[in-house]
Structure 1
Amino acid sequence: MTIEEILAYVKQHPSAKVKVAVADIDGVLRGKYISTEKFLSVLEGRLGFCDVTFGWDMADMAYDNAKYTGWHTGYPDAQVKLDLQTFRKIPWENDLPFFLGDFVNDQHQPLYTCPRQLLQKIRSEAEDLGFKAYFSQEFEWFNFAETPESAHHKNFQQLQPLSPGMFGYSILRGSLKNTYMTALFELLCKFGIPVEGLHTETGPGVYEAAIKYAGILEAADQAILFKTAVKEIAYQHGIMATFMAKISEHLPGCSGHVHQSLWDKENKHNLFYKDNDPDKMSDLMKSYIAGQLYCLPYILPMIAPTINSYKRLVEGAWAPTTLTWGIDNRTVALRALPGHSKTTRLETRVVGSDTNPYLALSACLAAGLYGIKNNLVLDKAATQGNGYKDISNGVLPGSLQEATKKMKESPLAVSLFGAEFVEHFTLTREWECKQYAKAVTDWEMKRYFEII
Structure 2
Amino acid sequence: QPRALAICDAEELSGERCMLSTRSQLKAVIARYAARGLAPVVATELEFFIFAPNPEPLYPFVPPTGLDGRREQGHSAFSVSSNNGLRPFFAEVYACMAALGLPRDTVMHEMGVSQFEINLLHGDPLLLADQTFLFKHLLKEVALKHGLIVVCMAKPLAHTAGSSMHLHQSVVATDSGVNVFSGADGQPTDTFRHFIAGQQACMADFTALFAPNVNSYQRLCQPYASPNNACWSYDNRAAGLRIPSSAAAARRVENRLPGADANPYLAIAASLAAGLHGIEQKLEPTPPMQGAIEVPEELSLPCTLHAALERLKSSQLAKELFGHEFIEGYIASKTLELTSFFDEITPWERRVLAAQV
- 1:357 is matched by which residue type in structure 2? P
What pairs with 1:270-281 in structure 2 (closer than 5 Å)? 270-276=179-185, 280-281=187-188
Mapped to 2, the partners of 1:237 and 1:267 lie a distance apart of 46
Q: Is 1:356 equivalent to 2:263 in the alignment?
A: yes
Structure 2 residue runs without a partner (length 5+):
65-71
Q: Which residue of the partner structure matches residue 104 of structure 2? A: 195
Mapped to 1, the partners of 2:279 and 2:221 lie a distance apart of 30
Deviates more, 1:442-451 or 1:369-378: 442-451
Mapped to 1, the partners of 2:62 and 2:302 lie a distance apart of 33
Is the 8 Å Cα contact of residues 315 and 321 (structure 1) preserved in structure 2?
A: no
Mapped to 1, the partners of 2:199 and 2:94 lie a distance apart of 33
Mapped to 1, the partners of 2:211 and 2:281 lie a distance apart of 25
Residue 171 of structure 1 and its aligned partner are, at CA, apart by 1.5
Mapped to 1, the partners of 2:278 and 2:114 lie a distance apart of 39
Q: Which residue of the partner structure matches residue 168 of structure 1? A: 77
- The change in CA–CA distance for 1:225 and 1:97 in structure 2 (over 3 A counts) is same
- 1:347 is matched by which residue type in structure 2? E
Matched position secondary structure for 1:180 = helix
Q: Tell me the number of residue pairs that the alignment of Structure 1 and Structure 2 aligns.
A: 350
What pairs with 1:208-357 in structure 2 (closer than 5 Å)? 208-266=117-175, 268-276=177-185, 280-337=187-244, 339-357=246-264
- The change in CA–CA distance for 1:267 and 1:184 in structure 2 (over 3 A counts) is farther
Partner deviation per Cα, 1:369-421 (whole Å, 9 max, x = no partner): 0000001112x11110123x232643111111111111111111111111111
Residue 352 of structure 1 and its aligned partner are, at CA, apart by 0.5
Q: Which residue of the partner structure matches residue 287 of structure 2? A: 381
Deviates more, 1:392-401 or 1:319-328: 392-401
Residue 243 of structure 1 and its aligned partner are, at CA, apart by 0.4
What pairs with 1:85-96 in structure 2 (closer than 5 Å)? none
Q: Which residue of the partner structure matches residue 134 of structure 1? A: 41
Select 2:316's aligned residue among 397, 402, 411.
411
TM-score, structure 1 as length reference: 0.75
Q: Is 1:402 equivalent to 2:307 in the alignment?
A: yes
- The change in CA–CA distance for 1:336 and 1:410 in structure 2 (over 3 A counts) is same
Is the 8 Å Cα contact of residues 61 and 156 (structure 2) preserved in structure 1?
A: no
Matched position secondary structure for 1:173 = coil
Mapped to 2, the partners of 1:267 and 1:432 lie a distance apart of 46
What pairs with 1:62-211 in structure 2 (closer than 5 Å)? 97-146=4-53, 151-152=54-55, 154-162=56-64, 163-211=72-120
Residue 338 of structure 1 and its aligned partner are, at CA, apart by 5.5
Is the 8 Å Cα contact of residues 338 and 345 (structure 1) preserved in structure 2?
A: no
Deviates more, 1:205-214 or 1:430-439: 430-439
Q: Which residue of the partner structure matches residue 67 of structure 2? A: none
Matched position secondary structure for 1:143 = strand
- 1:330 is matched by which residue type in structure 2? R
Mapped to 1, the partners of 2:303 and 2:207 lie a distance apart of 10
Is the 8 Å Cα contact of residues 253 and 318 (structure 1) preserved in structure 2?
A: no
Mapped to 1, the partners of 2:277 and 2:183 lie a distance apart of 21
Partner deviation per Cα, 1:406-449 (whole Å, 9 max, x = no partner): 11111111111111111111111221221122221121111123
- The change in CA–CA distance for 1:376 and 1:118 in structure 2 (over 3 A counts) is same
Structure whose alpha-carbon radius of gyration is higher = 1
Mapped to 2, the partners of 1:447 and 1:248 lie a distance apart of 19
Q: Which residue of the partner structure matches residue 445 of structure 1? A: 350
Structure 1 residue runs without a partner (length 5+):
1-92
* Structure with the largest fraction of strand: 1
Mapped to 1, the partners of 2:268 and 2:135 lie a distance apart of 15
Deviates more, 1:428-437 or 1:229-238: 428-437
Mapped to 1, the partners of 2:305 and 2:115 lie a distance apart of 25
Is the 8 Å Cα contact of residues 113 and 421 (structure 1) preserved in structure 2?
A: yes
Is the 8 Å Cα contact of residues 269 and 341 (structure 1) preserved in structure 2?
A: no
- The change in CA–CA distance for 1:276 and 1:230 in structure 2 (over 3 A counts) is same
- 2:292 is matched by which residue type in structure 1? N
Q: Which residue of the partner structure matches residue 80 of structure 1? A: none
- The change in CA–CA distance for 1:156 and 1:180 in structure 2 (over 3 A counts) is farther
Partner deviation per Cα, 1:332-389 (whole Å, 9 max, x = no partner): 00001354243211100001000000100000010000000001112x11110123x2
Matched position secondary structure for 2:7 = strand
Mapped to 2, the partners of 1:122 and 1:319 lie a distance apart of 26
Partner deviation per Cα, 1:83-133 (whole Å, 9 max, x = no partner): xxxxxxxxxx65x55421111111111111111111111111111111111
More RCO (CA 8 Å, sep 6+): 2
Residue 258 of structure 1 and its aligned partner are, at CA, apart by 0.5
Is the 8 Å Cα contact of residues 257 and 351 (structure 1) preserved in structure 2?
A: yes
Mapped to 2, the partners of 1:97 and 1:155 lie a distance apart of 30
Mapped to 1, the partners of 2:188 and 2:339 lie a distance apart of 44
Percent identical residues? 29
Deviates more, 1:360-369 or 1:129-138: 129-138
Residue 274 of structure 1 and its aligned partner are, at CA, apart by 2.5
Residue 175 of structure 1 and its aligned partner are, at CA, apart by 1.3
